[in-house]
Amino acid sequence: MNNTHSQYFLLYASCIPVKGISRSSIYDIQRNCLRLIPNLIYDVIKDAENRTAGELKKKYNNEYDKEIDIFFEELIEDELGFFTDTPKLFPKLSLAWESSSQISNAIIEIKEKSELNYNSIFSQLDDLGCTSIELRFTGSPTIDFIEHILTACNRSRIVSISMILPYADQFQIDNISYLSSKNLRVNKIIIHSAKENKKISNNYMVAKIYYTTNQLRNSSCGQICKENLIINSDLFRESQKYNSCLNKKVTITENGDIKNCPSFKKKFSNIKVKKLKEAITDAKFQELWHIRKDDINICKSCEFRYSCMDCRAYTQDPKNRYSKPLKCSYDPKTMSW
Amino acid sequence: MILILCESKDLSVSEVIDWISFLGYNYKRVNTDHLIDGNYTLKLNNDQVSYQSNSITDDISMIWYRGGSEVSSYKYPVLEKINAAKSRMIYNSMKMEKKMLKKSLYDNVLEKEWLSNPLQIDKLNKISTLRLAKECGVDIPSSLITNSKQELLDFLNEHKELIVKPIYEAYDFNLHKEEIYMEYTSSISLPFIQKLETTFFPSLFQERLQKEFEIRSFYLDGDFYSMAIFSQNDSQTEVDFRRYNTEKPNRSVPFKLPENIEKKLNKLMRTMELKTGSIDIVKTKDGRYVFLEVNPIGQFGMVSGICNYNLEKIIATYLIKNEKWKKQVKS
Distance CA A16, CA A78 (A): 14
**Confidence grade of residue B242 (pLDDT, cut at 50, 70, 90):** low
A156 has a pLDDT exceeding 70? yes
Nearest to A13 among B248, B254, B310 (CB): B254
**Confidence grade of residue B237 (pLDDT, cut at 50, 70, 90):** low
* C-beta atoms of A13 and B19 within 8 A: no
| Region of poorest pLDDT, from A45-49, A187-191, B35-39, B321-325 | B35-39
Q: Is A3 on the interface with B (CB under 8 A)?
A: no
Q: What is the CATH number of domain A2-89?
A: 3.90.930
The whole-number average pLDDT for the span A239-250 is 97
Q: What is the mean pLDDT of chain B?
A: 85
Q: Which value, in Å, is the radius of gyration of the alpha carbons in chain B?
A: 22
Check residues B249 and A211 and name the one with the higher pLDDT: A211
With a pLDDT cut of 90, the percent of chain B lying above it is 50
| Region of poorest pLDDT, from A39-43, A115-119, B79-83 | B79-83
Give residue B199's pLDDT: 93
For chain B, give every domain's residue range. 2-122+320-330, 142-207, 211-295
Distance CA A250, CA A271 (A): 12
**Confidence grade of residue B154 (pLDDT, cut at 50, 70, 90):** very high
Tens of pLDDT, residues A273-323: 999 999 999 999 999 999 999 999 999 999 999 999 999 999 999 999 999
Full 3-state SS string of chain A: CHHHCCCEEEECCCEEEEECCCCEEEEECCCCEEEEECHHHHHHHHHHCCCEHHHHHHHCCCCCHHHHHHHHHHHHHCCCEEEECCHHHCCCCCCCCCCCCCCCEEEEEECCCCCCCHHHHHHHHHHCCCCEEEEEECCCCCHHHHHHHHHCCCCCCCCEEEEEEECCCCCCHHHHHHHHHHCCCEEEEEEECCCCCEEECCCCCCCEEEECCCCCCHHHCCCECHHHCCCCHHHHHHHHHCCCCCCCEEEECCCCEEECCCCCCCCCCECCCCCHHHHHHCHHHHHHHHCCHHHCCCHHHCCCCCCCCCCCCCECCCCCCCCCECCECCECCCCEC
**Confidence grade of residue A121 (pLDDT, cut at 50, 70, 90):** very high
Distance CA A35, CA A80 (A): 10
A76 φψ region: left (φ > 0), alpha (ψ -120 to 50), beta (else): alpha
Q: What is the CATH number of domain B211-295?
A: 3.30.470.20
With a pLDDT cut of 90, the percent of chain A lying above it is 87
- Judge whether A27 and A34 are in contact, CB under 8 Å: yes
Distance CA A135, CA B186 (A): 50
- Judge whether B126 and B74 are in contact, CB under 8 Å: no
Q: What is the mean pLDDT of chain A?
A: 93
The whole-number average pLDDT for the span B69-80 is 64
Tens of pLDDT, residues B256-315: 999 999 999 999 999 999 999 999 999 999 999 999 999 998 889 999 999 999 999 999
* C-beta atoms of B251 and A233 within 8 A: no
Cα torsion at A88, A89, A92, A98 (round to 10°)? 130
Give residue B246's pLDDT: 61
- Judge whether A259 and A251 are in contact, CB under 8 Å: yes
* C-beta atoms of B253 and A90 within 8 A: yes
A1 has a pLDDT exceeding 50? no
B54 has a pLDDT exceeding 90? no
Q: In what order do the strands lie in the sheet with B54-55?
A: B40-43, B48-51, B54-55
Which residue pairs, CB below 8 angstroms and at least 24 apart, start in A32-35? A32/A231, A32/A232, A33/A231, A34/A229, A34/A231, A34/A304, A34/A307, A35/A78, A35/A80
The whole-number average pLDDT for the span B134-161 is 95
Tens of pLDDT, residues A8-39: 999 999 999 999 999 999 999 999 999 999 99
The whole-number average pLDDT for the span A107-118 is 92
Nearest Cα residue to A154 out of A127, A110, A184: A184
- Judge whether A263 and A314 are in contact, CB under 8 Å: yes
Distance CA A299, CA A308 (A): 9
Distance CA A107, CA A68 (A): 49
**Confidence grade of residue B85 (pLDDT, cut at 50, 70, 90):** confident
* C-beta atoms of A30 and B228 within 8 A: no
Give residue B94's pLDDT: 79
Instruction: Indicate whether this complex's ipTM tops 0.90.
Output: no
Q: How far is CA A294 from CA A99, A242, A324, in A?
A: 21, 10, 11
- Judge whether A206 and A186 are in contact, CB under 8 Å: yes
Q: What is the interface size between A and B, counted as CB pairs within 8 Å?
A: 66
Q: Is A87 on the interface with B (CB under 8 A)?
A: no
- Judge whether B280 and B293 are in contact, CB under 8 Å: yes
Q: B22: which chain A residues are within 8 Å (Cβ-Cβ)? A: 100-102, 129
Q: Mind telling me how many Å the CA of B306 is from chain A's nearest CA? A: 7
* C-beta atoms of A89 and B256 within 8 A: yes
B40 has a pLDDT exceeding 80? no
Q: B254: which chain A residues are within 8 Å (Cβ-Cβ)? A: 13, 90-94
Question: For residue A297, how many other CB atoms are within 10 A of its CB?
Answer: 13
Nearest Cα residue to A155 out of A178, A181, A180, A185: A185
Give residue B247's pLDDT: 67
Give residue A206's pLDDT: 78
- Judge whether B115 and B276 are in contact, CB under 8 Å: yes
Tens of pLDDT, residues A47-84: 999 999 999 999 999 999 999 999 999 999 999 999 99
For chain A, give every domain's residue range. 2-89, 105-216+247-289
Q: Is B231 on the interface with A (CB under 8 A)?
A: no
Q: How far is CA A57 from CA A4, A8, A17, A65, A228, in A?
A: 12, 12, 20, 6, 39
pTM above 0.90, yes or no: no
Q: Is B287 on the interface with A (CB under 8 A)?
A: no
Nearest to A157 among B18, B228, B248 (CB): B18
Give the chain A residue nearest B18 (alpha carbons): A100
* Residue B196 amino acid letter: L
The whole-number average pLDDT for the span A108-133 is 93
Best to test chain B binding among A12, A14, A158, A241 (most B CBs inside 10 Å): A14
B80 has a pLDDT exceeding 80? no
* C-beta atoms of A237 and B248 within 8 A: no
Nearest to B251 among A12, A89, A157 (CB): A12
B38 has a pLDDT exceeding 80? no
Nearest Cα residue to B302 out of A9, A14, A187, A10: A14
Give A208's strand partners: A188
CA-angle at B73, arms to B69 and B76, nearest 5°: 160
Give the chain B residue nearest A95 (alpha carbons): B308
At residue A182, φ and ψ (nearest 5 deg) are -85, -20
With a pLDDT cut of 70, the percent of chain A lying above it is 99
A133 has a pLDDT exceeding 60? yes
Tens of pLDDT, residues B92-117: 887 888 788 777 777 777 778 888 88
Which CATH number does the domain B142-207 belong to among 1.10.3110, 1.10.357, 3.30.1490, 3.30.70?
3.30.1490
